[in-house]
Amino acid sequence: MSMKPFNQNTPRLELIAGYEYEKRAIEIALIGNHPIVFLINKGSEIPSLLMTANRIALEQQIRFKGLVYFWCPCGNYGSLKDECQCKYPVIERHLRKLAKVVSKYDIWSQSQSYPRQYHLGEVEEEFVGRVKRAIKFREEQVSDNAIRFNSSSPLKLLTDSSVGLLKDYQQKVSIRVDVPKVVQLAITIALADYVYDFNYALCRPLIHQHHLATALQYQPYTMAGMQGILNER
């Protein structure tokens, strides 16, 4: 299920109440140009949220790529409301189709449908302002050579505790995790938080454990429903 094209009826961000975890993931995707995919069930407002994100990206001239995909063919797997009618082999074949494009997306998230909320969410202008400030901050750091990323040695950007966390993840979750991609994502997360500690002697940023932990949380291997399928590839 791919994202619908932008139209003038796309809701403002504050009209999509809740989904704070998912909005955070979209914020990071916009800041760092990280393609994002959501696994959902029927009733989720994620398709509307992605259309809103697409509109914001067009208005602000930011690149954005988002995808929504049902957990199963009937769309009810994991639903709190409707029972899934799909057998496990059918679900597995369905998810294997998504696994074929795993390398095309940096951020993976799963979202259930929630009861519709009637309060307002964060005002869209505040969200957009935060994204623009983080993008500007990133551009400044790149122009000042503060961010020197070498894909052949991404671990040099990590603190010792972060390296330990990454090794634990590789041992206990998946050895196949794309380390350079995870580190790039952790950089964006640090920028989004405005928490960036620099080792000026080496002219490079240090990515702390909580930045890396969030980046690993966005990996498809972290999702229980995808682990077995991806580890078999």
The reported pTM is: 0.86
Left, alpha or beta for 53 (phi > 0: left; psi -120 to 50: alpha)?
A: alpha
Q: How far apart are CA 173 and CA 106, in angstroms?
A: 17
Q: What is the sign, positive or negative, of the torsion defined by CA atoms of 128, 55, 102, 150?
A: negative
Q: How far is it, in rounded angstroms, from Cα 92 to Cα 59?
A: 38
Distance CA 146, CA 119 (A): 41
> Would you write out the chain's pLDDT as a tens digit for each of its 233 residues?
444 444 557 889 998 888 899 999 999 999 999 999 999 998 888 999 999 999 999 999 999 999 999 999 999 988 877 889 999 999 999 999 999 999 999 999 988 766 666 677 889 999 999 899 888 877 876 665 555 555 556 777 788 889 999 999 999 999 989 999 999 899 889 888 764 444 434 445 567 899 999 999 999 999 988 887 887 65
